[in-house]
Amino acid sequence: MHTKGTTSKFGVIEHYRKYLPVTESTPVVSLGEGTTPLISCPRLSKRVGRAVFVKNEGANPTGSFKDRGMTVAVSKAIERAAKVLICASTGNTSASAAAYAARAGISCAVILPAGKIATGKLLQAFAYEAKIVAIDGNFDDALRLVRELGQGGDFVIVNSINPDRIAGQKTAAFEIVDDLGDAPDFHLLPVGNAGNITAYWAGYREYHVFGNSTKLPAMIGFQAAGAAPIFYNRLIEKPETVASAIRIGNPASWKQALAAITESHGAIDVVSDEEILAAQTWLARHEGIFVEPASAASIAGLFKCCDSKEAAYSFRKIPEQSCIVCTVTGNGLKDPDVIVARVKELKSVPATVNEVRRVVGL
Ligand SMILES: *Cc1c(COP(=O)(O)O)cnc(C)c1O
């Protein structure tokens, strides 16, 4: 799979140093993020009648793509002698910030919407011993607080409004081009605060300028139907979706996301919670890739785009000869609540061969 460009260098800063805002004197804070698998998916490709690769960002050190941006943001923060990091989070930013702060030996405050964080992600923030503040409010409220606190000079903000985060996250696009030997025709991904679609588009453009690819992909972003401010072109006061990582009503990188979509001749669309959960189950069952609900939005979107019967919206269909990459943004173990309900139905049986055969159905 790795045709060129990838080596055993540790972490995205060492891999892609010349494309990143670091110098020889930047202290590199890394947990070996990046170099995630770009998985060729035969059953998924057959299902949609097009060549599909899944970029599995759940394989990063804390289980989401946030680590790519965090290694750069925290390294730069240390270079600037930061003492305390701060972020608002739907879960994965706090997990990543807490881990990289621990790695760097500084402290990290995370502002979370109370009761809205997936179990695995909250557990990570506790495990890395971040200073955790749960607020009565949603993610958008938490980010507003963080912006205010960041002005005082005590805290360095490591949300994706920090440009070092976006710079680091570009490396996912670089890896895809390195692995495929060129850019794909279409790139599908979930959109929440819209930092990632911004970063991918910047990455594809930059790599193209450097002559590493011959084309640019159309960027197609998917929001959850109950949290789709960009799609509906208005603020969503109370965003609701099972996909907690994209439960955002006022995306920080709204304008940049629109630019990525327009410049790349892409689109923004919505998928329902039912479609998201069905896609999550499908990907685990048929390709062995277990992702969190927010991540499955790209797969749900793929099904919507490629299945003409279901494509109820007006952007051009994906031609059959296309090469498609879907980013799945985070590991399924982070957000297990939907599946835990199924686990609880498991009943024990007597320890006999006959009972095992009966339950297995053979
Ligand atoms: C952060 C996150 C997203 C949304 O990414 P944005 O850059 O905010 O658009 C999607 N999925 C997962 C798993 C995430 O952690």
Per-residue pLDDT tens digits for 1-20 = 444 444 468 999 999 999 99
Whether 312 and 272 have beta carbons less than 8 Å apart is answered as no
Q: Is the CB of 306 under 6 A from ligand 1?
A: no
Give, in degrees to the nearest 5, the angle at Cα 166 between 165 and 169. Answer: 90
Count of CB atoms situated within 10 Å of the CB of 18: 6
- Whole-angstrom distance, CA of residue 273 vs CA of residue 246: 11
Q: Would you give per-residue pLDDT tens digits along the chain (362 residues)?
A: 444 444 468 999 999 999 999 999 999 999 999 999 999 999 999 999 999 999 999 999 999 999 999 999 999 999 999 999 999 999 999 999 999 999 999 999 999 999 999 999 999 999 999 999 999 999 999 999 999 999 988 899 999 999 999 999 999 999 999 999 999 999 999 999 999 999 999 999 999 999 999 999 999 999 999 999 999 999 999 999 999 999 999 999 999 999 999 999 999 999 999 999 999 999 999 999 999 999 999 999 999 988 755 554 445 578 889 999 999 999 999 999 888 888 999 999 999 999 999 999 98
**pLDDT for position 308:** 59
How close is the Cα of 356 to the center of ligand 1, in Å? 41
Question: pLDDT tens-digit profile of 54-92?
Answer: 999 999 999 999 999 999 999 999 999 999 999 999 999
- Whole-angstrom distance, CA of residue 350 vs CA of residue 330: 37
Whether 271 and 220 have beta carbons less than 8 Å apart is answered as no
SS3 content of the chain, % helix, strand, coil (to 5): 45, 15, 40
**Placement of tokens 């993020």 in the chain:** 33
How close is the Cα of 56 to the center of ligand 1, in Å? 13
**pLDDT for position 282:** 98
Which H or E element spans position 206?
Answer: helix 195-209
Q: Is the CB of 92 under 6 A from ligand 1?
A: yes
Strands (E), the chain: 38-40, 51-56, 84-88, 107-113, 131-135, 155-157, 186-190, 218-224, 267-271, 323-328
Amino acid at the residue 90: T
DSSP 8-class letter at 332: G
Q: Torsion angle of alpha carbons 317, 227, 256, 296, nearest 10°?
A: -50
**pLDDT for position 338:** 85
169 Cα nearest atom in ligand 1: 7
How close is the Cα of 323 to the center of ligand 1, in Å? 23
Please tell me whether the overall predicted TM-score, pTM, comes out greater than 0.85 for this model: yes
Nearest to 239, CA basis, from 315, 144, 137 = 137
Q: What does the chain come to in residues?
A: 362
Count of CB atoms situated within 10 Å of the CB of 313: 12
Which H or E element spans position 344?
Answer: none
Nearest-CA residue for ligand 1 atom 1 is 245
DSSP 8-class letter at 319: P
Q: DSSP for 89-141? A: -SSHHHHHHHHHHHHHT-EEEEEEETT-S-HHHHHHHHHTT-EEEEESS-HHH
Nearest-CA residue for ligand 1 atom 14 is 245
**pLDDT for position 312:** 40
At 255, list the tokens: 């304008």
Cα dist. 28→74, 99, 170, 332 in Å?
A: 8, 14, 17, 29
What are the φ/ψ torsions at residue 26 (nearest 5 degrees)?
-75, 125
